[in-house]
Structure 1
Amino acid sequence: MTLVADFVLQRLAEWGVRRVYGYPGDGINGLLGAFDRAEGEPEFIQARHEEMAAFMACAHAKFTGEVGCCVATSGPGAVHLLNGLYDAKLDHQPVVAVVGQQKRLSLGTHYQQEIALQQLFADVSEFCQMVVHPGQARHVIDRAFKTALTTRGVATIIIPNDIQEEDAQPSPPKKHGSVFSSVGWSRPRLLPDEGELRRAAGILNAGSKIAMIIGQGAAHAESEVVEAAELLGAGVAKALLGRDVLPDDLPFVTGPIGLLGSKASDDMIRGCDTLFMIGSSFPYSEWLPDEGQARGVEIDIDGRMIGIRYPMEAHLVGDSKETLKALIPLLRRKEDRSWREKIEKDVTEWNALCRKRAGQHFGGTINPEAVAAELSPRLPDGVILTADSGSGTNWWARHLKLRKGMQASLSGTLATMGPGTPYAIAARFAHPDRPVIAFVGDGAFQMSGMAEMITVKRYLDRLSGPAPFVFCVFNNQDLNQVTWEQRAMSGDPKFRGSQEIPDIPYAKYAELIGLKGIYCDKPKKIGKAWDEALSSDRPVVLEFKVDAEIAPIPPHINKTQGKKAAKAAVRDPEGVGIAVKGARQKITELAEHLPGRHP
C-alpha cells in the first residue's frame, strides 16, 4: 500500500514540483522516508536552516514563475520557516509549505514540540489546513496550490506524523463529505471596465509631463510598457522588484526610485504632472509627487491594493499586459518631446555622476560603489542577480545596468537580512546553465550566508560548471545600512556596541570548505578580481575590503534628515572621514551641472 507521505510527494510532483527545500526532523520522518522512495521526483534539497529553505522556495518562485515548495518539521522547525514565508507573502510569490505536527493522539496535551501551527501560520498563509484523515490529503494539497497560484501567496499544509505513515486514500469513498479535487490551474485574463479605460486614456492624453513607475506586476508586459512610454513621451522608473522588467540601456529608463534610487528618477517625479503606476505598490510617499501635483492612473491586478499609495483618478484593475493592450489604442502620441528629451538628458548625467563617484577612492581603500561599477560592463548574458538587505543594495540598485534577458531580485517588501545567498542557491538549482551573482554584506553573510556555503559545498558537483556562480561579500566590519539610518533618521552617532562586527576572512573560509576564495583590498585590482571570479568553474566567494564611510547619498535630502545627520556627525567616531568623503562626492555632483560640462 502507498502511504500518505508517498501520496503527498506524488501529488507535489503532479503539480510540477521538482525540488523541495527543507531540513529534517522527526515530525516529518514519514515524509523523509517517502523522499527516499521517490528517488528525486521530487528531490529533497537540504538547506542548513529552515528559514533558508523558505527563502529558497520564494526565490524559486521568483526566478521560474512556478510554485516554490519547502518542508519543515514540527515545533521549532516550523517556527524557523516564518521569516522566509513572510518574504514570499509580502513579495506576492506562490509558495507551498509542508509542515509536520505531533501525533493527533497527543494534540492538546502540551506535548513536546507541540505548537498551535494553524494559529502560527494564520497570518502568513492565504490557506492553512491540517490533514487529519488520509482521504483529506488530496484536496488539501490541491487547494493549497490553487490558492498559492491565484493569490500569489503562501499556502501551508500541516500533516501530523501519524497521518504521514497511514495508508493513503488517493480516491476517498464516495459518500457525503468526500471531496474529489483535481490537479490544474490556469492564469485568468483580467481586464478593467471599458469606461475606466477611456477615463485613464483621457488623463494620460491630457498630461504633458508623464512619469511611469513599474514594478514586478509589469514583468510580462515589457513590449507594452515600452510602447506606452514611447506614445506618452514618458520616462520609466523601476521599483526594486521590477528592475528586470525593462533593460537599463533604454534611454528613457531612469533606473531605481526612492532612497536607493537615481536622481534622474527623482527629478522626473518631482517635475511630472501625471503619474502612471503599473504593477507596483511602491509605498514611500516622500519619493512620489506631492498630493495635488499630478493626476494619477494605476494598473494593478489586485483591487485591494489599487489607489492606496497616491490618489488616483483612474483605477485599472487588471493584468498589466492585457490592460495595456486595451489601453494603448486609446492613447495619442505626444508631439512635443521636450519632456522626454529632458528625462534622457538627466539619465545620461546620472550615469556619468555614478561613474565619477565610483572612481573616488580615499586613502587607498576600496569605494564599495566601484565594486558594482566594475562588474556592470562585465555582467554575463542571462545572469541572475540577487542582493541582500544592506548598504550594498544601494550599489546593486544604482550601478548594475541590466540588459535584456537578465533577472534580478531581493527581499523587496520585507527587506529582511539573509535572503541574498539562498536566493542565489535556488536560482542556480533552477537554472544550472545560467550565471548567478549575489551581493551580500558581511553582516548578512555572518548571519546566515557562511552556513549556506556548506549547502553549496554539499551540492558542489551540481552547482559548479562553466557558468559563473559568485557570492560577492562587502567586508567593512559594519552593519552599515543601519549605521547610516542611525545617523540620518535618529540623529545619533554610530554606536559601536551594536554596529561593529568581527573581521572574518571570508575568502579563506571558502577555500577551507572547498570553494574558490578571492580577496581584494586594492582599488586598482577590482576589475582583475571580477575577471578571475567570472572565469572560475566552481563557486566563488569574492571578498572586497571596502570603505565603511562612503554614504549612500539619496537623490535628495530633506531638511530634517540633513539636520539629524549633521548632529550625529559631531559625535560620530567616523565623523571626520564621513565629512571629507561626503563633501568630495557632493562636489562631484555639483560639478556635473556646471556650464560646459556636457555637450
Structure 2
Amino acid sequence: MAINVSEFIIQRIREWGVTRVFGFPGDGIGEFDGMLGKTDRDGDGLEYIRPTHEEICSLMATAHAKFTGEVGVCVATSSPGAFHMLNGLYDAQMDNQPVVAIVGQQGLAALGTFVQQESNLERTFADVACYVETITTPDQAQVVVDTAFRTAKLRLQPAVIVLPHDVQAMDWQEPAPANWVSRSSAVAASTAITPPIAEIQAMAEIINAGQKVTFLVGHGATGATDEVLEAADLAGAGIITSLRGKAVVPSDVAYHTQQLGLLGSKPSLDQMKGCDTLVILGANYPYGQFLPATGQARAVQVDLKPEQLGIRYPTEVNLWGDVKSVLTAVIPLLKRHDDRSWQEKAAADMADWETEMQDQADIAYDDGVNPRRVFAGLNDRLPDGAIVTCDAGTTADWYGHHIRLRRGMMGDLSGRLATMLAAMPYATAAKFAYPDRPVVCTIGDGAFQMLGMNELITVKKYLSRWKNKQLIVVIMHNDDLGQVSWEMRTEDGNPMWRGSQDVETVDYAGYAELLGFRGIAVKDDDAVAAALDAAFAHDGVTVIDAYVSRNVPPLPPHITREYALNTAKSLIKGDPVELDVIKDSAKAMAAEGLDRVKGALHLGGDRDLDEKDD
C-alpha cells in the first residue's frame, strides 16, 4: 500500500521504540499531524500527548528521556512552535538526554522568500542540537530520521528534523540503490563502552592506593547502583551524589552524604576537604570551589561524554566509557580496604547532619510556614516507588537538604540549565511513563505561574489514562522569586528589589478546586502533617498550597566570609523585609549549633564562617 512521507516517518519512529510523542499542532506540521491521527484511528499509531504549550512538549520529552532512558520525541509547527521548544531542548542538551524534535516548515519553494512563518530553522537549532537536517525529498526521509535517532542516542543530545509542509504529503517508497541515495537502518550502536584494560588497571591502582577515597556519583551512573555500591564497599569509600544523581545511590546507605555545595551537606563538604582520592562517576559537577584543592587528591573520571572528561579537576586517568561497564571491569582488580574509618566518619557525620536538618525543619517562623518542615514531612511520607520532581530556586535547596530517595524511587529536575517551570512537565511526563506510580511535584509559586497552572489543565485532560491517579503538587507560596532574592543579597550585597521579586498572590488551592482537584491551603506549621496525610490518602490530584515564609535563608553548609558580609551589606542598604530576614536568619543559624554560630559571628581574616572560633 502506498504511503506518504509522514506515514513513513511515523512507522520509522515506532521502529526506534517510540510509543509516545508530545506535540502541539499548527499548519506547518499539518499533514504530519493528520497522519498521526490516521494511524491512531487505525490502531497502530503513536500515543499523542498535547499539553498547553510547545515549551511543555519539549520539557516533557526531556523528562521522558530522563525517567525511561528512551528517546523523547516532541512535535511542533514551524517558526513560533519551533522557537517555543528551544528551552526544553536546551534542557536536554545540558543534561545529556536523547530527544528528537520534529518541526514543521513552509513549503520548499518558500524557503528564503520571507513568507509567513518561514525562517532558517537549521540555523536556529544549530547550537542546541547535535544533528539538524531538513528533509527535502522522500528518498532522504529514511536516512534523516535514522541519523537523528541514532545520533541522539549515542551522543546523548537533542536532534532536530525539519519537515517542510509539501514534503510531508509526498509519496514515499523504499529507496532503491542509486547514487546520492542512502539506505539506512533503525539500529543504534551500544553505549556499553569499556576502555582498554591498561586504563582499567590504572584506575584500580589509584583507588587501591587511596586511604580516604570519595566517589562523586552523577546521573550518568544511572543503572549502575549495584556496581557503585560494590566498588565503594571494596574501597572503603564515602559517596557523594550530584543533585541529578540523587536516586542512583539509595538514601539508606549510611556513608552516602547526599549532595555537595550550596544545597548540599556539610559531611559532603568535609569529604571533599579531606579525601586523598576522588573518583568521578558520570558526573559533570560544575562548582569547582567545593572540590578538593589542586594536588590534594589523586583523581579518576568515568563518563560517556568525552568532552566533559578532565575539565572540573586535574584527573590522572580519564576513562571514556559508561559507568556500569567500567566498574564491572575494575571491581575484580580492587583490593578490599580493611580500614573503614573514613567511611565510618562519613556515616557518623551524616547522622549528625540529619539531626541538624530536622532541627532546621522544626523551627517556627512568625511570617509563614517553614518550607523545610513541608519538605521534611513530605520525605517522611514518600511511598515506595514514588517519583519526585523539583523546580529551580529555593525548592531545589529544600529538595537537596531534605528529600531522601530510597531504592526504586526516582527524582529529577532541570540540572545544568536550571530552568524554572520544569517540575510540572516533568511530573506529568512521569505519570505517562509510569501510570501506576505516585508522583510528587515540588515547585515555587513563581515557576507555577509561568506554565505550571496551565499544566494542571493537561493533567485534567489525561487523568483518566493513569491507573494510579495520585499526583501531588506542593507549591511553595511565598509571593517571592526567593532564590534570586537571596542571590541578590548574598552574591551582590544588594537588597531584594520588590519590583522584580514580588509574585502576585493567587489562591492556588482554589484554582485546583475549579479544575475538580483537591486543593489544600496550609497557612501554619501545625497544618503541614494533616495536609500531607490527606494528599497521600487521596487517589487523585492534590494541590498543597503552602504559604511559606519568604525569609527563611537557604543556608549553605559552607558559610563564607563573603556570604555573610554581602548579606550584611544588603541589609544596611535597606532590604524591604530586613527585620524578618534578620529574625529568620538568626533562628536558622541558632539551629546549626554553637560552633557554627560562633564561626558566623567571626568576620575577621579570610576564615570560613563554619570554622570554630578558637
Q: Give the shorter-chain TM-score range.
A: over 0.9
Contact 1:466 1:536 in 2 (8 A): no
Query: What is the deviation of 1:553?
Result: 0.3
Give the aligned partner of residue 5 of structure 1: 6
Give the aligned partner of residue 80 of structure 1: 84
Contact 1:381 1:405 in 2 (8 A): yes
Question: CA 1:192–1:466 in structure 2 vs 1: closer, same or farther (change >3 Å)?
Answer: closer
Summarize the alignment of residues 214-253 of structure 1 with structure 2, pairs less than 5 Å apart.
Answer: 214-253=217-256
State TM-score, norm by structure 2: 0.94
Q: Which amino acid aligns with 1:81?
A: M
Summarize the alignment of residues 386-401 of structure 1 with structure 2, pairs less than 5 Å apart.
Answer: 386-401=389-404
Cα deviations across residues 461-501 of structure 1 (Å, max 9, x unaligned)?
A: 124x5452111111000000010111011110000000001
Q: In structure 2, the residue corresponding to 1:241 is in which secondary structure?
A: coil
1:273 aligns with 2:276: yes
Cα deviations across residues 292-313 of structure 1 (Å, max 9, x unaligned)?
A: 2211111112222111100011
Cα RMSD for the two superposed structures: 1.4
Give the aligned partner of residue 372 of structure 1: 375
Q: Which amino acid aligns with 1:380?
A: P
1:117 aligns with 2:118: no
Query: What is the deviation of 1:94?
Result: 0.5
Query: What is the deviation of 1:391?
Result: 0.5
1:140 aligns with 2:144: yes
The 2-side partners of 1:120 and 1:454 are apart by 30
Partner of residue 534 from structure 2, selected from 532, 535, 555: 532
The 1-side partners of 2:546 and 2:477 are apart by 6
Partner of residue 339 from structure 2, selected from 336, 339, 350: 336
Query: What is the deviation of 1:528?
Result: 0.9
Give the aligned partner of residue 66 of structure 1: 70
Residue range with higher mean Cα deviation, 575-584 or 252-261: 575-584
Query: What is the deviation of 1:588?
Result: 1.7
Give the aligned partner of residue 557 of structure 2: 555
Summarize the alignment of residues 82-101 of structure 1 with structure 2, pairs less than 5 Å apart.
Answer: 82-101=86-105
State TM-score, norm by structure 1: 0.97
Query: What is the deviation of 1:533?
Result: 1.0
Cα deviations across residues 72-101 of structure 1 (Å, max 9, x unaligned)?
A: 100111100100000001101110000000
The 2-side partners of 1:32 and 1:359 are apart by 53
Q: Which runs of 4+ in 1 moved over 3 A?
A: 591-594
Partner of residue 158 from structure 1, selected from 149, 156, 162: 162
Identity %: 45
The 2-side partners of 1:296 and 1:15 are apart by 38
Give the aligned partner of residue 597 of structure 1: none
1:354 aligns with 2:357: yes
Q: Which amino acid aligns with 2:155?
A: T
Query: What is the deviation of 1:202?
Result: 2.2
Contact 1:353 1:592 in 2 (8 A): no
Q: Which amino acid aligns with 1:572?
A: D
Contact 2:28 2:104 in 1 (8 A): yes
Query: What is the deviation of 1:16?
Result: 1.6
Contact 2:469 2:541 in 1 (8 A): no
Give the aligned partner of residue 612 of structure 2: none
The 2-side partners of 1:46 and 1:466 are apart by 20
Residue range with higher mean Cα deviation, 474-483 or 453-462: 453-462
Query: What is the deviation of 1:329?
Result: 2.0
Partner of residue 544 from structure 1, selected from 546, 554, 558: 546
Q: Which amino acid aligns with 1:153?
A: Q
Query: What is the deviation of 1:319?
Result: 1.5
Q: In structure 1, the residue corresponding to 2:483 is in which secondary structure?
A: helix
The 1-side partners of 2:526 and 2:295 are apart by 49
Partner of residue 171 from structure 2, selected from 167, 171, 175: 167
The 2-side partners of 1:4 and 1:192 are apart by 41
Give the aligned partner of residue 209 of structure 2: 206
The 1-side partners of 2:191 and 2:96 are apart by 16
Query: What is the deviation of 1:591?
Result: 4.4
The 2-side partners of 1:88 and 1:593 are apart by 39
Q: How many residues align?
A: 592
Give the aligned partner of residue 35 of structure 2: 34
The 2-side partners of 1:424 and 1:439 are apart by 9
The 2-side partners of 1:479 and 1:16 are apart by 40
The 2-side partners of 1:188 and 1:77 are apart by 32
Q: Which amino acid aligns with 1:468?
A: Q
The 2-side partners of 1:302 and 1:482 are apart by 31
Residue range with higher mean Cα deviation, 431-440 or 270-279: 270-279
Q: In structure 2, the residue corresponding to 1:77 is in which secondary structure?
A: helix
Q: In structure 1, the residue corresponding to 2:186 is in which secondary structure?
A: coil
Q: Which amino acid aligns with 1:90?
A: M
